[in-house]
Chains A and B, each alone.
Chain A
């Protein structure tokens, strides 16, 4: 049984959604660490059943207010696979542009307001703004233009309304798109400055061997389309996801954990995984910056994910700029289709990692069933593994419990967990077995 001395420290902050960590100690060593997710279940897969398939992108967007576009993208691609819809190049490009907007607002938010304060012992980005006013204002502006892009393409920044199965409800207005160009020219350069700034932070020394997993495409940085690949040599179509990955359910979490099916091992998704698996497909300015910064150990230090996020911020700004400059849509904004019975799945890259959706639809165009596997439930096993490992090393250096509690939060933040997605309410607590 647990000993009476249990230390409670504040809930995990500066993450999206709420959760907690329980650290089990035995004889002064770390026995087990659990990431507790008590987010109340909202039962999306169940509530979709029997609804018109057209409702799916609007409804699944509500799984997450930080990355609604990711849910919209994975859902429309999966449904299009089920219905045999081939989208046009113009629609495909506009979807990438919309996704760039979400990567920009999410990455700029995480880098400046959620993660950067940790490197200076600040409680918030707002407090950090007193010390670095220009950097934080630049970060807020970087975030703002991502949101403006979402508004122009998607109608609004949170829960955009322009996405539909088969394409878009309407092509965005050319004048409004053109007006964004100067802001994106500024943004690409400002994102490079922001990335240089974060790359100069003082990072804790910590390395981990990861199996990185991401979507990968031969010609472009992964977002909407590609195979699922891993640093251990896995290369599969998204349709085989369930053959290689499996969700398990543990009692300390309302989120499901995903692990590699045969190896029963954890894997890492997100910016670190994407950069390491697709480095040569970053945009030219992002690649140049990567070379300048020379971060050879970027691959194995989770604290440096902020730099990977910066490289992707530059990429997203540069790619968005190119699409905006060429924007000249032709043909209908949406491909017509007829409902038919079928199944389809898709994996796309949410800002915090790969998001898998699968749907079965009936001949009347209704959803029969769906499976949604968010990035944070896939990273959860890895987060627990890293916490155990990191705290074990910290205990050996004589770190106090208070210091380690802070470490715990800082490490969890590096994965940019989206706990609302997975399902709330994380209290960090220590339990010592006698």
Chain B
């Protein structure tokens, strides 16, 4: 029998939810451990083995100088590097600082800001090192994570669909909230993976799986504006967990330019 692939899990700026997804694969967890060797996963095991690893799952974004160096070491140690979740793939909710003044933000949170050292931006892992595969979602879908790990042991490509949430609503038979109620929904431009749960729970999609490819975000936003939705409502919708994913960032910045030009203020 061939050697089991060695798996490592690394955390950067994040909430822990995506690596927890691996432990949330309750029915599959012990079976996965038969197929891969968990060589370094601090949240689950005290047995932390040094690299090299066959695959590294990386959660979280880069927000400190130390982490920008650490991700390079992870890359050197790992044959395949897979980013898991919106923080690692797109910068996460903490990337909202990219539009603010980080020193002022730190002062707003910490009484002694001089103890805090952080970068002015939160950036995705791919800005720093080569990424072999990106799994989207805030949080990721643990069935997709299991498929990636199984694919790895079988030497095949992962089967991760890239269509939009909109199509999943049609599969589920969910009534379209944009058409029926005129509420903004990012389903048409958001990557599948969540199961189209927000529309099924009577709310619009807020894009936590990031932009689908291709995503005609401007066309969708034009339709929302026809429906009477203002940039003040649409900008926060685009600026949440995947705010700096290029498609969403471009769209939100165009909206703010339009808004500010109407108000006669410089953008």
Contact = CB atoms under 8 A, between A and B. Distances in A.
Interface of A: 10-18, 38-47, 49, 51-52, 55, 58-59, 62-66, 68, 105, 109, 113, 117, 123-127, 129, 136-137, 140-141, 143-144, 147, 155-159, 161-162, 164, 169-170, 247-251, 254, 256, 369, 409, 418, 420, 424
B15 A155 contact: no
Query: Which of the listed residues B15, B38, B111, B194 has the most CB atoms from chain A within 10 Å of its own CB?
Result: B15
Nearest to A121: B46
Nearest to B93: A62
B206 interface: yes
Contacts of B67: 40
Contact of B11 (A42, A137, A424): A424
Contacts of A129: 30
A239 to B, nearest CB: 22
Given A158-B20, A170-B203, 6 more contacts: A42-B122, A62-B15, A62-B17, A126-B44, A127-B47, A147-B24
B139 interface: yes
Contact of B46 (A58, A124, A155): A124
B45 A124 contact: yes
Contacts of A47: 93-94, 96-97, 100, 105
Contacts of A127: 45, 47
A369 B20 CA distance: 30
A41 B15 contact: no
A420 B201 contact: no
B15 A64 contact: yes
A105 B201 CA distance: 22
A14 B23 CA distance: 12
Nearest to A371: B109
Given A46-B100, A47-B96, A141 B26 contact: yes
A159 B17 contact: yes
Given A55-B236, A129-B30, A141-B26, A65 B16 contact: yes
Contacts of A159: 17, 138-139, 208
Contacts of B92: 42, 62
Interface in B85-114: 92-94, 96-97, 100, 102, 104-106, 108-112
Interface residues of B, number: 65
B254 interface: no
A18 B94 contact: no
A123 B46 contact: yes
B48 interface: yes
A94 to B, nearest CB: 13
A13 B201 contact: no
Contacts of B203: 161, 164, 169-170
B17 A113 contact: no
A125 B26 CA distance: 12
Contact of B109 (A38, A41, A105): A41
Given A18-B11, A41-B118, A161-B203, A126 B42 contact: no
A66 B202 contact: no
Given A41-B116, A43-B94, A124-B46, A64 B16 contact: yes
A39 B61 CA distance: 12
A15 B20 CA distance: 11
Contacts of A137: 30
B153 interface: no
A252 B146 CA distance: 37
Contacts of B47: 123-124, 127
B26 A249 contact: no
Contacts of A250: 115
Contacts of A10: 46, 48
Nearest to B63: A40
B93 A161 contact: no
A14 B12 CA distance: 16
Interface in B1-46: 11-21, 23-24, 26-27, 29-30, 33, 38, 42-46
Contacts of A55: 236, 240
A52 B21 CA distance: 29
Contacts of B116: 41, 254
Contact of B44 (A12, A14, A51, A64): A14
A43 B12 contact: no
A65 B16 CA distance: 5
A162 to B, nearest CB: 5
B240 A58 contact: yes
Contacts of A123: 45-47
Query: Which of the listed residues B26, B29, B110, B118 has the most CB atoms from chain A within 10 Å of its own CB?
Result: B26
Contact of A158 (B64, B108, B110, B139): B139
Contacts of B206: 58
B198 interface: yes
Contact of A65 (B20, B100, B200): B20
Nearest to B70: A425
B201 A117 contact: no
Contacts of A44: 93, 109
B17 A170 contact: no
A46 B15 contact: no
B16 A16 contact: yes
A59 B86 CA distance: 13
A254 B114 CA distance: 11
B117 to A, nearest CB: 9
Given A13-B45, A14-B44, A41-B106, A158 B24 contact: yes
Nearest to B232: A52
Nearest to B119: A40
A420 B97 contact: no
6 contacts: A14-B42, A16-B43, A43-B105, A47-B97, A155-B200, A169-B201
A113 B21 CA distance: 14
A13 B197 contact: no
A126 B29 CA distance: 9
B46 A46 contact: no
Interface in B66-91: 66-67
B53 interface: no
